[in-house]
Amino acid sequence: MDLKEIKQIIDLMKRSDLTEFSVEEQGFKLRIRRGPAGAPVAVSSPAPALPPPAAPSEPAPSATPSEEIGVDYITSPMVGTFYRAPGPETPPFCDVNQLVEENSIVCIIEAMKIMNEIPADKRGTILEILVENGQPVEFGQRLFKIKAG
């Protein structure tokens, strides 16, 4: 991992609500977390492999009068590639008409070769999946339409 990639990670953290990021490649471990003042602090060392922490999800935008009442959205907390399942041969984390609990994993977003599990930020029923599997997504992009409750 070079300095350019580390700077990209720090910029990603500044643009999102991520408070901690961890990655390991070939015996090299990098952990970045926000310090008390909110500034990123990088720590790196050779260490045994640990899975990266799940990224916190971004709160969905509030409903506007033109949107349906009781309907909300789960949005992407980062830029990356959207995956509905943990692997090509495994079932998706959730489907349409499925009830999801707050903090249950609904998808994975791959960013910089790191698979980030994305939890639901609210309890509800999935009404629509708004992104195709393998499609690139942007920060704040709507991923799932959900009926609260």
Q: Which domain holds residue 120?
A: 71-148
93 belongs to a structural domain: yes
Angular region, 134: left φ>0, alpha ψ -120 to 50, beta rest: left
Shared-domain flag, residues 40 and 90: no
Taking residue 75's Cβ as centre, other Cβ atoms within 10 Å add up to 21
The domain total for the chain is 2
| pTM strictly above 0.75 | no
pLDDT in tens, 110-132: 988 888 999 998 899 999 999 99
pLDDT of residue 43: 45
Shared-domain flag, residues 142 and 78: yes
Q: CATH number for the domain including 87? A: 2.40.50.100
Shared-domain flag, residues 76 and 130: yes
